[in-house]
Structures are given as C-alpha cells and as structure tokens.
Amino acid sequence: MGRTGFAWAIFEWARNPYYILIVIFIFAPYFAREIVGADLLAEGALDGLEPDEARSTANAMGQATVASVTKWAGLIAALTAPFLGAALDRGGRLKPILALTLSSIAICSALLWFAIPGEEGLPTIAIMTLLVIAYVSYTYSEVTHNAMLSVSGNKQSLSMISGLGLGLGNLAAVFIFLAIVLLFVLPDLIGFPFDDPQFGVEISRFEHVRIAGPICAIWLMLFSIPFFLHAKDPGQAGASWGAATRDGARSVLKTLREATHYSELMKFLLARMFYADAMAALLALGAVYVALFLNWGFLEMLCYALVSSIFAFGGGLFGGWLDMKIGVKRALLVEILVMIAAMVVQLSITREGLFFGLVDNSQVWNGLVFKTLSDLAYLSLISVVAVMATASISSSRAMLVTLAPTGRSGEFFGLYAIAGTITVWMGPLLVEYFTVWFNSQRIGMASISILFTLGVVILLTVHLPVHTRDRVEPA
C-alpha cells in the first residue's frame, strides 16, 4: 500500500467520527430523549398519563422523530446518489465535490452545539433539518470517496486499503470517546482525572454531549487535509459536469432497464439490501436492548460505544485480511454468519441469567461499570459484532469493486448506496411488529434474522468473474 492508498484511507479517519458519535452513539439518543421527549413532558402534552407511561410515550416519540430523520435522509439519498455516482464516472475532478460535501457536514455538525433543550436552543425542526442535510451530505461523500477506491492501489491491495479506512475511522472515534470520558464525564462523577469537567463544560446543560458536534466538525476539516494533498483523483480536469450529469442519468436509467446484463452485481446489491439493513437494525436497536434488559447507565453506554469503536477498528483490518486469505465472497459469508450467531447469544442474556436461563447471573466485581456476568458477557459479544460488522462493510465494498464494470464504479457505488438506504425502515418495522404480535422484545429482536437469512441465501447465488474465481470462490 502506497501513499495514495493511505491517503484514501485517512479520509475515513477524518469523516467517520461524525457518523459514529452523532448518528449512532451520542447525539441521536440525546436528541430523542432530552429534546424531543423532554419537550413533550415539559409542555404538558402527556399530563393525563401515569409517570412511567408518560416517560415511555415521550421516549417512543423521540425514537420516532429520529427514525423520521433517517427516513427522509435515506429517501433523498436513495433517489439521488446513483445519479451522482454516474456523473462522477464522467465528470471532472472529484476532490472539489468532496470539499463541498465535507463543508456541509462540518457546518451542520458545528451547529448542533445549539441543540439545547427548551426554548433557549434551536427548534426541533431546525435540528432535524441539520441532521438530514448532514446525513445526505455524508452519503454523497461516501459515494464520491468510494468512486476513488479503484485508483488508490492495485486490485490486490484494495481490500486492505478499504479495511484500513474503516479501521482508522473507528480508531478516531475511540480517541474522541476517551477525551469526552476523561475530560468531562469522569471528573463530574468521581473527580478523576480532574477535579471538575474541563474547559468550563457544564454537565447539567448537556454540554458534554453537545460538544461532540463542534469536535467532529473541527476533526473533519483538520484531518481531511492529507487526503486532499495526496489522494489520487480519477476525474478529468475541465470536464463538463453538466454533460456528465445528463450522460450519467441516462446511463443509470439504461442500467436499470438492462439489469439482466449485470445479473451477478444486481444479485449482490439485492443481498446487501437485506443483510445491511439487518446489520443496521442490530447495531441501533441493540443499544435499546441493553438499556432495557441490563439497565446500563450513561457511563456504561459511553463505554459500550468506546469498546465497539476499538474493536471496529480491528474489524476493518480483519476484513481486508480475511478477503485476501479466503476471498471476498467467502469472507462476507463468514462475517454475516458470525453476526447471526452473536445475536442469538445476545438475546439469551438478561439481568437474571445467560443462555436463556441456563446460567445464573452473578456479581463479578464492585467497580463503576459492568459489575455482573451478564454485563461482561454482553460486552464481549458487542466486541464480536463490532469486528464482523465493520469487516462486512469492507468486504462489501471490495466485492462491489470486483463486480462493477471497469470505469463505472462510481455509478454502481450510487446503486450500492440505494441498497443501503432504500429499505432502512425494514429492520425496525419487523422488530416493532414481532414485538407487538408476541409481546416479547426478544422475539422482536430475533426477527432481524429473517433479513440476515435472505441476504445470505441470495449472496450464495452470486458468482464472481472468472479471473477472480480461483482466489475468491470454491471450485
């Protein structure tokens, strides 16, 4: 891997912390609980309900609001990303496009500092708008960045480059999580390693949460500089973006009409649509499961995010290594199947016991966090899921590059983005319905396995090109 490949990978060190901190672990739960939910309670909209029922309803409305943000952002991205990708294959330099999308993410992220509960902060609709704009911009940056992967190294090194990028993105999140814990959370809880939260941060005003937005914005702009200096841009200087957009749109429509000509690639995108949605639901709703069944608090959830990011860093490197060892298709199947197995064991854990009651829970130590056997067992399984989920993302990108026609990777990465966004509602919908039908959160979560199974079955039917078959497929 040369300087060009490393420059491509360092981009995710700069950008991915936004998604990990804002979309998944820190800001989205805060927005749902402390802004949307708390505002409902403060306005008296739920005064007729019992306190527990009112809090439950407020939390549900908060979660629905976050889901609405994801829905609208996913819809916009799904309808536009393929056309952007096709234009990238035919247009000018890609780095200016990335500069625009990154600037959009950074501005929206920085403005989240003003997401304060009550009338003092931005209106809820304004926060939702910022999150939608940033989400769509993030998707556009992903399509553009992925379109540059094919020129970032030789074909043998692309899986490792892709995995390194994902690993670096998660490692960056680890450093930011550690900074938040050491500078703000622990000083407030136990007066260590400082007597008080640093830089005048007020925990009571949720500044330790809101500051994640400005931190991600500064981090993004600062660490994207090496990418812009050293990454290879496949675009042609002076090419007409207007013509590229028109030609790209025609090409996308033609590709969709002639999908049978790309049957293997389309089968892969269909498989990814199912298993990626299942994985997203497992990661997002897994946090809800932990909070409900194991009663983890804020510090434990922050540690959960930290551990996930640490192991996800290893997952990016593991995915690239596994692709090289057994081939991209086999690697992807292994990664998905291990996630399914880990999910089954996760669902066997409660505050009372493990393995569906076969092993009683017990206190292991008297520390600040993760005191019981159930806590530690679940934490270890989170580590497995983090490794395999990140590895599967790396393997999926490498498989797309393997299957896409030469010179059209941007267009197909646009379709790849559709496969990851168009059914983003499917996993949560299954969980909701199965939970209601069976009155069981375990069965609700277990329904995610339906999507995983569909993805695996379709993936088994995908045949890779002959020139890669000896390396990636069984004889």
- Average pLDDT over every residue of 280-294: 67
Give me the pLDDT at residue 410, please.
63
Examine the pLDDT at 425 and tell me if it is beyond 80.
no
The answer to whether the beta carbons of residues 26 and 210 sit under 8 Å apart is no
Most confident of 53-62, 142-151, 152-161: 142-151
Give me the pLDDT at residue 294, please.
73
Give me the pLDDT at residue 441, please.
64
Examine the pLDDT at 475 and tell me if it is beyond 60.
no
Question: Can you name the residues that pair with 287 across neighbouring β-strands?
Answer: none
Provide the percentage of residues in the chain whose pLDDT is more than 90. 31
Most confident of 159-163, 271-275, 283-287, 463-467: 271-275
Of 229, 235, 272, nearest in space to 418 by CA? 272
Q: Which of 153-162, 164-173, 185-194 has the lowest mean pLDDT?
A: 153-162
Query: SS3 for the chain, per residue?
Result: CCHHHHHHHHHHHHHHHHHHHHHHHCHHHHHHHHHHHHHHHHCCCCCCCCHHHHHHHHHHHHHHHHHHHHHHHHHHHHHHHHHHHHHHCCCCCCHHHHHHHHHHHHHHHHHHHHCCCCCCCCCHHHHHHHHHHHHHHHHHHHHHHHHCHHHCCCHHHHHHHHHHHHHHHHHHHHHHHHHHHHHHHHHHHHCCCCCCCHHHCCHHHCHHHHCHHHHHHHHHHHHCHHHHHHCCCCCCCCCCHHHHHHHHHHHHHHHHHCHHHHHHHHHHHHHHHHHHHHHHHHHHHHHHHHHHHCCCCHHHHHHHHHHHHHHHHHHHHHHHHHHHHHCHHHHHHHHHHHHHHHHHHHCCCCCCEECCCCEECCECCCCCCCCEHHHHHHHHHHHHHHHHHHHHHHHHHHHHHHHCCCCCHHHHHHHHHHHHHCCCCHHHHHHHHHHHHHCCHHHHHHCHHHHHHHHHHHHHCCCCCHHHHHHHCCC
What is the spatial distance between Cα 117 and Cα 62, in angstroms, rounded to a whole number? 13
Give me the pLDDT at residue 141, please.
94
Examine the pLDDT at 31 and tell me if it is beyond 90.
no
Q: How confident is the model at residue 428 (pLDDT cuts 50, 70, 90)?
A: low
Q: Note the Cα 51 to chain centre separation in Å.
A: 34
Give me the pLDDT at residue 260, please.
67
Q: How confident is the model at residue 472 (pLDDT cuts 50, 70, 90)?
A: very low
What is the spatial distance between Cα 161 and Cα 145, in angstroms, rounded to a whole number? 12
pLDDT averaged over every residue in the chain: 83
- Average pLDDT over every residue of 249-262: 73
Give me the pLDDT at residue 406, please.
72
Examine the pLDDT at 324 and tell me if it is beyond 60.
yes
Query: SS3 for 325-340, per residue?
Result: HHCHHHHHHHHHHHHH
Prior bond of 193 cis (ω within 30°): yes
Q: How confident is the model at residue 460 (pLDDT cuts 50, 70, 90)?
A: very high
* Two tokens, residue 25: 């672990």
What residues have CB less than 8 Å from 186, skipping those under 6 apart? 192, 193
Give me the pLDDT at residue 314, please.
82
* Two tokens, residue 289: 């499961």
- Average pLDDT over every residue of 220-245: 87
Query: How many CB atoms within 10 Å of residue 194?
Result: 13
- Average pLDDT over every residue of 447-454: 90
Most confident of 271-285, 340-354, 439-453: 340-354
Pick the more confident residue, 445 or 17.
17
- Average pLDDT over every residue of 138-151: 87
The whole-model pTM stands at 0.79
Q: Note the Cα 32 to chain centre separation in Å.
A: 18
Span 369-405, pLDDT tens digits: 888 898 899 889 988 998 999 899 888 888 888 887 7
What is the spatial distance between Cα 370 and Cα 110, in angstroms, rounded to a whole number? 33
Give me the pLDDT at residue 473, please.
39
HSE-CB at 412 with a 13 A cutoff on CA atoms is 26
Amino acid type, 350: T
Q: How confident is the model at residue 470 (pLDDT cuts 50, 70, 90)?
A: very low
Span 108-126, pLDDT tens digits: 999 999 999 988 889 999 9
Give me the pLDDT at residue 287, please.
66
Examine the pLDDT at 457 and tell me if it is beyond 90.
yes
The answer to whether the beta carbons of residues 315 and 56 sit under 8 Å apart is no
